[in-house]
Structure 1
């Protein structure tokens, strides 16, 4: 068990209800729990803490809520005031930026975000009151809609529509409605935690609703079947258009696909895009070559001279594995002047037949796939899904300087993201 929100691990040694030792207790009973744990002396449970299963431990530092202002208030609640939130047995300082109204007038009900002075444990439906500590009076009350809202974009119309859906009391209706207004996907793991659902409950819920799940940001996300089918269909259309308009190119990369998506439909997130592309590859509808996607039947049409030079270039690059020769060495091996070779290499990179990883180094697409595979393997060995330059250098054996260039390249193409210390693998 975990004492939340502190995160202290504890073991239950005994349980008393109504002054008697029992094996289980129910809501409404006066209970005492005998806890044991090495960290309890350092972080003793405090008033307002919860004793939860490890999977349910998810402290929240802000709460998206449905708030009702008392009609007896003389004026609207300001967004700059300091309030006191009473949630369960906890009392926490809070600020109140509204989500769907500039001010909360007396007697009105609106969505709002409570930004807290310290984390609390909360789930959907938890009721609370809001007090003015200076005047020592209650000013509003309400209930929690989403304790795991996004950091940014809290007042965007799409987010407000999502909160309206999440506020529905029926869990099935809430999930269906939230998926309909979430074209980028819905964090299903957060939804289950917010609704306090057991894994079996979530599995049963998913079986009743048409949705598709994918991984993103360390969680399970979901989109409606309609959105999933639309994404796949749109991707195939974009790849076909690319082949028609640019027959001398291998195919589009992720950035090109997102740029060509169009304004008539919301573009997918990177995670959703990659999940849809992976499913199309699994189904045999697309082929992945390095960082680009193409149809099985598509081949780049090169002149006989370019075809011969490409074969010679690959014969020089492939033996190098993850450390192919730099452009100067390549020019010497091919017997070509460097000023003449560079524009040709850049053209092949635009066509997708080569990948420019560093200013002076080009890779075959299959070698780029190896660079990505090593980054993923390293990230999978760490709980935080990251890799650093030293570990990547040791795994690949490509040297420190090239390792830095490769990791910067992986950041640019969206495989990883540098947080200032480590490169974290994206979906």
Structure 2
């Protein structure tokens, strides 16, 4: 008896291999799933196999009649010729494309084995693939080598630009030292590419930056009054800023014309902190826990020229942000909303915060803790890229002295002072990776 073992990705391909190698009269003795596909054992001696299996079939026939109709006679099934098995799979595929409603069960199959097979649901063959450890290691090594090559190319690109365009390199270094975003730095430097003198180009850059930085058109929005809400992350100084704004307005127009409202029902002691400021300033403080109560409170304060709303501090990833938005927008359509950003926050955090509050129609931004920061580039970049006007800046804890209307030239001047004070902290390798990488990718495109 000629017996051979075949391996293939699926049953159809395996049957094709058996037919080509042994012939159409081949007999499949066994088949099983193995890693990578299907294993089939086949033989050429069809009659001999039937004789060997006949006794086993007769012995099991009685047991099959008492058991489920869907049981399969393995011995007979395994003894099917390759032509029969191929015909069976072809029939399955043909039946798969015919709509169920069009199929009429008119044929009665007399062969028990084929009847059992038609009753049984054909399940798709599931092949389990496992990653080759050698291949995985090779991929990791390729990625590591690629990273090394890219780092070397970026360093070379940055070094080449330093030799061929020393003025551009120096301007990029200074703007980066101010903490500005990479893409914004490149746009600004492109505007002064025609100026050969680095100092003259630097002065033009600062003027362009001040012109680009959006600030509130009003000298002081407090003069107009209205309903103003401050939103932002925890710890950015919203409550203290509310107190500064209230004190500033009370000094000009009297404490009877201003009121404060808090919607912070999450933080322990939040109400008490604002009430303390209210007692010092002789300004009433009210509490609103939801949109309905806020609407009622604002209606009761309609005689006040200025109402300042202190909201709960929330992370930019907090799922309750949408509730806060709904509360403010449901309280009154006339609420002016200002986002409070800390100058001490990382650039990535500032960007993420601004993005999180895009669902609110912001009227502007207030930058706090400038006195504690080493850079203003993060908040300046966010304001420019989102076109969000800066209204106020705070630079201390004193109430109300340490709050000022935002002035573009003043902010740029202060940013340059920070840059000069921390010029020795600029990482040239980080610059090379950031800007050299941009150059490499630009040439690659």
TM-score (norm 2): 0.19
The structure in which a higher percent of residues are helix is 2
- The structure showing larger relative contact order (alpha-carbon pairs under 8 Å, at least 6 residues apart) is 2
Structure showing greater radius of gyration is 2
| Structure 1 or 2: more strand by fraction | 1
